[in-house]
Structure formats: C-alpha cells, structure tokens
Amino acid sequence: MSYERLLENRTTKEKVVAILFLAIPAMIENILQTVVGFVDTLFVAKLGLVEVTAVGVANAVLNVYMAIFMAIGIGASSLITRSIGADNIDKAKAIAKQSTLLSLIIGIIFGLITLFFSESLLLLMGAEPQVIKEGSVYLRIVGIPSVFISIMLIFGSILRASGDTKTPMNVAWWMNILHIGLDYVLIFGLGGWLGWGVAGAAWATVIVRILGTFALYYYIQKSNISFSLFDSNDSKSLLSPIIKLSIPAAIERLIMRLGQILYIGLIVYIGTETFAAHIIAGNIEMFSYMPGYGLAIAATTLVGQYIGAGKSTDAYHYGLLTTGIAVIFMSLIGVIMFFCASWMAAWFTTDIEAIQMVTTALKIDAFAQPALAIGFVLAGALQAAGDTKSPMYSTAIGMWLIRIIGIYVLGIYFDLGIAGIWIAIVLDIVVRAVFLTWRYRYLFRQLIKEEKSFEDKDTGLLSRNTHDQNV
C-alpha cells in the first residue's frame, strides 16, 4: 500500500495502519541507535566508572550541540510536511536546501567552540580532574567535526518529513552494525594492539557519522525532494520561517540540555558512583523512548501534511490516535522495566551498590512511561502545527521549576540519593504531559474553528454566485 494511498484512508483501523507505516521504521531506527549507545556505554563501563562518567559528561555537552541541530530539523520538518500536504513540492525542496545550509554553518561554529573550549565546558559541569582529562579527549574527537552531526540530523529530518522513514532506518541499520564492530576494536584493540580506550569509542562514533551523512545525502538525491546545494535558485526568503520556527525549538532543547548540565552537576556533587548509576539507568531507559520517538515522527508527518491540506479535524484525530498507541507501547515497556530492572543493571556492572541504585531508578521511572508517551507525541504534533513555543514552555516549567529544584530538595537536602533524583524526573514528565495535552486541545479547537469559518464563507460566496447566475 503506498504512502499516498494511506493518506486517503478514513477508518480508525486504516488510520492506525498509516501511523504504524511511518512509525515502525522510525522506531527501529531509534532502537538501533539506542543499541549502539547501550553497547558503547557497556564497553566503556568495562574500562571503569571514571571512564563511564567522563563519556557521560562529554555527551551532556554534545547534547547541547545536538539540541540546536535538532531544532533546525524541527523547523524544517514542520514547513516541509505542510508544503507537501499543500502539494507544493518545489517549496519543500527549497526548504530542504536552506535548512541544510543553515545546519552546515552552525555545525562548523560548534566545531570551533569545541576546539578552543573543551576543558572549560567540562569544568563548568563540576567534573573531577580525572573525569575532565578523559572527557576532554572524547569531546574533542567527537565535537570538532560537529558539522557531520548537524548535517546527518537534518538529512534524516528531511527524509522523514517527506514521509520516507524507511531510508533513515536502513542507513541506521548498517551504520550501527559497523559502529559496534569499530567500538570493540578501537576501545579494546585487536591481537597485540591494546586499543585507544575512551578515544576509540569517540573515533568509532565519528567514522560512522561521516559515512552516514554521505549515505543519507545520496538517498535524498534519489527522493522526490532532491535538491542541489550549488544551484542558483534564490530561496533565501525561506530562511526566515525556518529560523522563526527553529528558535523556540532550539530554546526548548537548550533549556532541556542546559538544565541537564545543571542537574548532572548536582548528581556529580552527590557522588561519582551515584552519577555512574544514573548514567547506566538513563541508557537503559532510552529503550523505552523508542516507541515515543517513532510515533512522534509519525504524528509530526501526518499532522503537518493534513494541516497543509486544510484538514485540521483529521490532523487532530491523527494526533490523538497516535498518542493512544504510544501510551500502550510505552506502558508495556514500563512493566518490563519494573520487573527486569536488576537484570538489566547487571549487564553494566557487578558492583552490588551500583546495581541497587540503577534498579531503584528504573522502578521509579517505570511509572512515568504513559506520561512520557503523551509528552513525546503531542510535542511532535504541536511542532508540526507550527507551535514550537508550547513545548518550550513545558520544558522550561518542568526542567527548571520541578526537575532541578526537585533533585536538589529530594536528592541532596533530604538525602534520598538516586531515588530523589528519579522521583523529581517523574514529576517533571507528568507535569509536561498535562500541559501539552491542554495546549494541544486548545490549539486544534482554534484551528478547526478557523477552518470551518473559512469554509462557511466559501460556501456563502458560492451560493451567492449561483443565485446571481440563476437570476
């Protein structure tokens, strides 16, 4: 069944098929990427807890970079999906081109920041000297060629926005297989060579990202939104709407990432062992994100295209239906997480105290999965509708008023340790889900009302014209 045919379906069953048609490849892609992160952390954990902490702290900085890169993808995806829904492929191509050029420039800028300020960035997080030493090695190797992170992310966003979630999945498949092989060899060595340790993990990441970037560009050139970076078409006027939508998304991601840096600093203050346990729990938890990420992509694509086609009621129903599917998926994962927490923790470490802390974190987090599903999907749906500010507000409230303060109060002041940390995280997730649900319903009531008013005016005008002709 073709993607275009799926957009014409109307029954609930056919809508579910349309959602899963887009979501399942995106889920698989994210699962593959998470497996690599899982294996990466598993391998580095064999080197020691200091190395795990170093890579975790460095990745927290890199996540700030990725926040900006992903924000450009959000802005571009919103405009591309609506342009395709309105059957304006030329505009979609122009948006793809301009967003790529913007990603290229910003990727180079962040590479230069990494080159000159690696140690300073890690020092801001309050890391110990040994952690800074190891972390700066990882950060420089991965962060200086940041342009490949930014371009790879935008290429993936462009393909998904066009309705092609299979190609990024296929590219991720071979990238991740290669990554795991390179990871092992470059970290631990081969034969008489002892490997590069943390630096090996970094180089494995960089190599596969470079290859992935070129592979995704190749497939874009074969798609219906192919574009050339070197043609003379003037589409600079499209930069303004891309930036306008990307700025709130970037601020939202920065609020999240900077907040993560602050609360990571609080966790590091509690102790390196607690932070290492938190990092391990976070890597395991990432598996629960996969259905949410995949279904959020489906919601973004379908909601955006239906709005572009002037069908806000259908867009609204797709968003709600996708949210329900996500809640079911992620609730099931929460049950598995709760009962298998100790077994999962033992994959990463044999330290009894660390296993107990990871188990506590995962059992608490299991109860947040339904709310996490709602937050993922509705944020994607709102961004597709052009509302990139509401996710920003929800993140600001959740991260800074609940999560950070909660970690300090529960984790440090009341000395609840890892339990206090994850209770604060769960409270943040629940509050965000409630806010985004309210905002989604309010926004679409307005869109549907405006659309109906417009249709009524058109009907009235048509009736008058027909009456005049009859007279």
Q: For residue 41, how many C-alpha atoms fall within 13 Å in the half-sphere facing its CB?
A: 25
Q: What is the value of pTM for the model shown? A: 0.80
Give me the residue label for tokens 């952690």. Answer: 131
Cα distance between residue 150 and residue 137, in whole Å? 20
What is the pLDDT, as a whole number, of residue 34?
Answer: 66
Q: DSSP for 97-158?
A: HHHHHHHHHHHHHHHHHHHHHHHHHHHTTT--HHHHHHHHHHHHHHHTTHHHHHHHHHHHHH
Residue tagged 């069908």 (tokens)? 311
Q: Give domain limits for the chain.
A: 3-227+237-463
Between CA 26 and CA 45 the distance in angstroms is 28
pLDDT of residue 460: 52
Give yes or no for a contact between 172 and 211, defined as CB atoms under 8 angstroms apart: no
Interatomic CA distance for residues 124 and 145, integer angstroms: 22
**What pLDDT, on a 0 to 100 scale, did the predictor assign at position 4?**
47
Read out DSSP for 385-416? TT--HHHHHHHHIIIIIIIHHHIIIIIIIS--
Please give the pLDDT value at position 37: 66
The pLDDT of residue 407: 94
Give the chain's radius of gyration (CA, Å): 23
**Per-residue confidence (pLDDT) for residue 370, from 0 to 100:** 97
CA distances from 131 to 53, 336, 418, 465 (A): 7, 33, 20, 76
Distance CA 298, CA 160 (A): 9
pLDDT computed for residue 334 by the predictor: 95
Residue type (1 letter), 405: I
pLDDT of residue 26: 86
| Nearest CA-CA partner of 279 in 350, 358, 200 | 358
Residue 462: predicted pLDDT: 47
The pLDDT of residue 411 is 93
- Show the tokens assigned to 362: 């995962």
What pLDDT, on a 0 to 100 scale, did the predictor assign at position 275?
86
How many helices, marked H, and strands, marked E, lie in the chain?
A: 16, 0
CB-based contacts of 176, cutoff 8 Å, min separation 6: 32, 33, 35, 36, 208
Per-residue pLDDT, 1: 41
> On the CB side of 208, how many CA atoms lie within 13 Å of its CA?
21
Cα(33)–Cα(344) distance, integer angstroms:
18
As a whole number of angstroms, the distance between CA 200 and CA 448 comes to 53
Kindly state the DSSP code that residue 190 receives in the 8-state scheme.
Answer: B
Q: CB count, 10 Å around CB of 324?
A: 16
State residue 455's pLDDT score. 63
CA distance 260 to 253: 10
- What pLDDT score was predicted for residue 459? 55
Which of 436, 385, 388 lies closest to 67, judged by CA?
388
Q: What is the pLDDT of residue 458?
A: 52
Q: Which residue numbers in the chain have pLDDT < 50? A: 1-7, 461-462, 466-471
Q: Which residues, at least 6 apart from 307, have a Cβ–Cβ distance to it below 8 Å?
A: 82, 85, 315, 384, 385, 386, 447
pLDDT confidence of residue 232:
63
Closest CA to 433 of 388, 373, 362: 373
φ and ψ at residue 315, rounded to 5 degrees: -60, -45
Instruction: Write out the DSSP string of 285-325.
Output: HHHHHHHHHHHHHHHHHHHHHHHHTT-HHHHHHHHHHHHHH
Each residue's pLDDT tens digit, 121-153: 888 766 778 788 888 888 999 999 999 999 999
